Amino acid sequence: MDKKNFPIFKNAKFQGSISHGSGSQEKDFIYLDSSATTQKPQVVIDEIKKVYENYNANVFRGLYRISEEATSMYEETRKAVADFINAETSEIIFTKNTTESLNTVVYSFAKSILKKGDNVLLSEMEHHSNIVPWQILQKEIGFNILYLEVDKSGQFTNLDLITQKEPKIVSVVHISNVLGVINDVKKITKMAKDVGSYVIIDGAQAVGHIGVDVKTIDCDFYAFSAHKMMGPTGVGVLYGRKELLDKMEPLYGGGEMILSVSKDSCTFKDAPYKFEAGTPNFVDIIAFRKSIEYINDLGISNIHKYIKDLSTYTHYQLSTLKEVEIYGDSRDTGIISFNISGVHPHDVATFLDEDNIAIRAGHHCAQVLMKKFNVQALSRVSLYIYNDKSDINALVKSLSKIIDYYK
């Protein structure tokens, strides 16, 4: 769609000598690991530099011009994020990533409502960041963790667990970072609300790929990361329903989140500010707005369609290699995990790197799913707007070389 706007593709060409095959030659950089983090367009990179060069003053603190300007730009990003997912600005908390957003919900919200014997429902396709915080809290409180099960195609097979077990909390991923499947979070939320559960959605792989409307989904919390949608690293978002945020205690205490402090006690600001203790990552948060504008200019539905079409093409091309086994059959997103029989995924990734093609190999922070599928690791291709068919053709060519080599 827009490769020329991403400087990495000019700068990360491979100049070195190549051991498997064609000697020394320049190879284009082919990035197929956008689920791990996306590349940044020039406008986002420029904005970071612009803020440091022109507006670098701590937000909310300075009674002088550039601090006030930085503060208002910081709040403009909050407004852009709120509009992007159809929330109110008071419902948008800046964190450092999805992981911190989910931990904030676990410790500031779930901890206050869960009791021994309660049920919390997760799914087998969760990223570790939506499993581990629950397991840590479970040790303290003694609630039960139950799992929605996943079949080979990536569908949940026991959604009726929601009605049977009436969990206090349901916390599930919107788009699986391994299978690429888009879960019907609206339906899951409705089922959960019908039995009185609170609902948390991990949207790390969704925002920036499909239109997300938290009011339509009707969830209570929604977590995501800026770096997975062309924004800077070190910026996360937690959406929380206002009436819940108002009741919650902050996870961190410190500067700027208080109204008053005495020797014995303190009072907090209203949400979202009570959840943003200390100096926030304001430079990157300000620059994050540029990535949202970039997505809005392209149109989120155009982005989704573009990636879907490229995903269908990728599935087809990979299916021409009979040694490749794909896990999950979703073509709705650009996340495609696979294995090549007889070749370890780490060797696949290392070999591809020699052709300057970057993919991810490993357990993808989803060991529960790996165990379910009885694999140690998978190779994963994940697409974004700067990929095109030529990238996939190069991938398939390189994979064929690997298959021949290991034969």
Residue 378, number of CB atoms within 10 A of its CB: 26
Residue 136 CB, shortest distance to ligand PLP, in Å, is 16
Type of residue found at 60: F
Residue 177 CB, shortest distance to ligand PLP, in Å, is 3
Residue 178 CB, shortest distance to ligand PLP, in Å, is 8
Determine what percent of the chain falls in helix, strand and coil, rounding each to the nearest 5: 45, 20, 40
Binding mask 6-45 for ligand PLP (x = CB under 6 A): -----------------------------x----------
Q: Are 41 and 294 in contact (CB under 8 A)?
A: yes
Using the rule CB under 6 A, is 181 a contact of ligand PLP?
no
Indicate which single residue of 38, 39, 71, 97 sits in contact with ligand PLP (rule: CB under 6 A). 97
Q: C-alpha angle with apex 328: 323 to 331, nearest 5 degrees?
A: 100
**Binding segment toward ligand PLP, per CB under 6 A, in 59-67, 95-103, 181-189, 321-329:** 95-103
* E strand or H helix that includes residue 239: strand 236-240
Residue 63 CB, shortest distance to ligand PLP, in Å, is 35
Using the rule CB under 6 A, is 127 a contact of ligand PLP?
yes
Residue 175 CB, shortest distance to ligand PLP, in Å, is 7
**Beta carbons within 8 Å of 11's beta carbon, 6+ residues apart:** 29
Shorter beta-carbon distance to ligand PLP: residue 129 or 387: 129
Using the rule CB under 6 A, is 398 a contact of ligand PLP?
no
Shorter beta-carbon distance to ligand PLP: residue 315 or 363: 363
**Binding segment toward ligand PLP, per CB under 6 A, in 7-15, 92-100, 252-260, 279-287:** 92-100
Using the rule CB under 6 A, is 99 a contact of ligand PLP?
yes
Shorter beta-carbon distance to ligand PLP: residue 252 or 268: 252
**Binding segment toward ligand PLP, per CB under 6 A, in 91-99, 185-193, 212-220, 395-403:** 91-99
**Beta carbons within 8 Å of 5's beta carbon, 6+ residues apart:** 41, 42, 43, 386
Number of residues that bind ligand PLP (CB under 6 A): 12
What tokens appear for 9 in the block?
């593709």
Residue 322 CB, shortest distance to ligand PLP, in Å, is 29
Torsion (CA) 79, 85, 86, 92 in degrees, nearest 10: -50
Shorter beta-carbon distance to ligand PLP: residue 77 or 129: 129
What tokens appear for 349 in the block?
């990734």
Indicate which single residue of 33, 47, 202, 391 sits in contact with ligand PLP (rule: CB under 6 A). 202
Binding mask 203-222 for ligand PLP (x = CB under 6 A): -xx-----------------
Q: Are 173 and 195 in contact (CB under 8 A)?
A: no
Residue 231 CB, shortest distance to ligand PLP, in Å, is 11
Using the rule CB under 6 A, is 281 a contact of ligand PLP?
no
**Binding segment toward ligand PLP, per CB under 6 A, in 137-145, 162-170, 199-207, 294-302:** 199-207
Q: What is the C-alpha separation between 46 and 31, in angstroms, rounded?
A: 21
Q: C-alpha angle with apex 342: 365 to 403, nearest 5 degrees?
A: 105
Residues annotated as part of the active site: 365
Instruction: Indicate the angle between helix axes 42-54 and 282-298, nearest 10 degrees.
Output: 150
Alpha helices in 158-299 (DSSP H): 161-165, 185-194, 214-217, 242-247, 282-298
**Beta carbons within 8 Å of 65's beta carbon, 6+ residues apart:** none
Q: Which of residues 141-180 bind ligand PLP (CB under 6 A)?
A: 173, 177
Q: What SS3 state is found at 393?
A: helix
| Binding residues vs ligand PLP (CB under 6 A) | 35, 97-99, 127, 129, 173, 177, 202, 204-205, 225
